[in-house]
A and B are shown apart, each in its own frame.
Chain A
Amino acid sequence: GAVVSQHPSWVICKSGTSVKIECRSLDFQATTMFWYRQFPKQSLMLMATSNEGSKATYEQGVEKDKFLINHASLTLSTLTVTSAHPEDSSFYICRPGMVNTEAFFGQGTRLTVV
């Protein structure tokens, strides 16, 4: 199956700082990347969809100026949480858009803002 590498797996940052999360597709080209957030014991919530070479599409209620998404190449998409606050502490997961019915996720990034 497709290999998706997400880094870092865990990060602690101070309130007010920014954190960048990377998602790389290792053996295929991902024109689309989905970014999810997951709170404890909750389902995956789609935050935004990034498309290579164009602006990301954000879901309702997601602040695009806070969650900056860049998809500059077919193998790399990044999510930057700017001016992080404790309420941004969550599990962030990427998933490349696939043309078949299967879907593969990144390993996830646990963000803790203190």
Chain B
Amino acid sequence: QKEVEQDPGPLSVPEGAIVSLNCTYSNSAFQYFMWYRQYSRKGPELLMYTYSSGNKEDGRFTAQVDKSSKYISLFIRDSQPSDSATYLCAMSPSGGSYIPTFGRGTSLIVHP
């Protein structure tokens, strides 16, 4: 079992839909959780990060962490065609060295 599991998709939704992207993990030591967006042939860009459990909202994006279930989510409201990209989750233990473990990414397609 991989440390971080993420469905590669693709996930295709109509413009305006609410998108739910998810990752599960097995390492209970993970404390920092991040979501990256990666456009084709570009480096990943950090969207959001959260520490421990709970929700964090930033504009149309909401990150949710459920440590009891080892499950994290990224919600995108009012999705736009410009949101079409690959979304990678990443996580790392608290303190010490900081080398996150990445999911393989979910390809999202928002069609007009």
Residues of A bordering B, CB below 8 Å? 1, 6, 9-10, 34, 41-44, 46, 49, 91, 93, 97-99, 101-108, 110
Q: How far is the CB of A77 from chain B (nearest CB, A)?
A: 15
Inter-subunit contact A43/B88 (CB<8 Å)? yes
A108 CA to B6 CA, complexed, in Å: 22
Interchain CB contact under 8 A, A108 and B41: yes
Are B105 and A104 in contact, CB atoms less than 8 angstroms apart? no
Interface 1/0 per residue, B1-37 and A, CB below 8 Å: 0000010100000000000000000000000101010
Can you list 20 A-B pairs with a CB-CB distance of less than 8 A?
A1-B46, A10-B41, A41-B104, A41-B105, A43-B103, A43-B104, A43-B105, A44-B44, A93-B44, A97-B98, A98-B98, A99-B98, A101-B32, A101-B51, A102-B46, A104-B45, A105-B43, A108-B42, A108-B43, A110-B41
Residues from chain A with a CB closer than 8 A to the CB of B42 are 107-108
A contact face: mostly helix, strand, loop, or mixed: loop
Residue of A nearest to B33 (CB): A101
B73 within 8 A of A: no
| Interchain CA distance A34-B92 in the complex, whole Å | 15
In the bound complex, CA of A96 to CA of B23 (Å): 24
Would B44 and A34 count as touching, CB distance under 8 A? no
CA–CA, A49 and B88, complex, Å: 21
New A-B contacts (7) at CB < 8 Å, excluding given A43-B6, A105-B43: A44-B88, A101-B49, A101-B98, A103-B90, A104-B46, A105-B44, A105-B45
